[in-house]
Amino acid sequence: MLADGGVKSAQRALEILEAFARQRRPLALKEVLDELGYPASSGSALMKSLVIQGYLDYDRERRTYFPTMRLAKLGDWVPGVLFGDGPLLGTLEDLRRKTDQTVILAVQSDLHAQYVHVLHAAEPMLRRVPPGTLRPLARSGLGLVLLSAKRDGEIERLRRRINASGDDVGQTREDLMSRVNEVRARGYAFSRNTISPGVGILGAALPNGPFGRTFAVGVAGAVPDLEAKRDLIVDELRAAIDRLA
- The model's confidence at residue 166, banded by pLDDT at 50, 70 and 90, is confident
Give yes or no for residue 58 having a pLDDT over 50: yes
Measured CA to CA, the distance from residue 114 to residue 93 in angstroms comes to 19
pLDDT band, residue 169 (cuts 50/70/90):
low
pLDDT score for 4: 44
Give me the residues paired with residue 57 across strands: 66
* pLDDT at 232 (0 to 100): 96
Q: In the structure, what pLDDT confidence band is assigned to residue 144 with cuts at 50, 70 and 90?
A: very high
Cα–Cα distance for residue pair 72/17, rounded to 1 Å: 11
Q: What is the mean pLDDT of residues 113-132?
A: 80
Q: What percent of the chain has pLDDT over 70?
A: 91
- Give the mean pLDDT of 133-148: 94
- Residue 224 binned pLDDT confidence (cut-offs 50, 70, 90): very high
Considering the entire predicted model, what is its pTM? 0.77
Between 22 and 137, residue with greater pLDDT: 137
| Pairing assessment for the beta strands 134-136 and 27-28 based on DSSP bridges | unpaired
**Whether residue 239 has pLDDT greater than 90:** yes
Q: Over the stretch 186-216, which tens digit does the pLDDT of each residue have?
A: 999 999 998 888 999 999 998 777 677 889 9
**Ramachandran assignment for 54, one of left (phi > 0), alpha (psi -120 to 50 degrees), beta (any other):** left
Question: What pLDDT score does 128 carry?
Answer: 74
More confident residue, 18 or 126: 18
Stretch 119-140: mean pLDDT: 82
Burial class (CB in 10 A: 0-12, 13-18, 19+), 194: middle
pLDDT exceeds 70 at position 127:
no
Average pLDDT of the chain, as a whole number: 87
Q: What's the pLDDT score for residue 3? A: 43
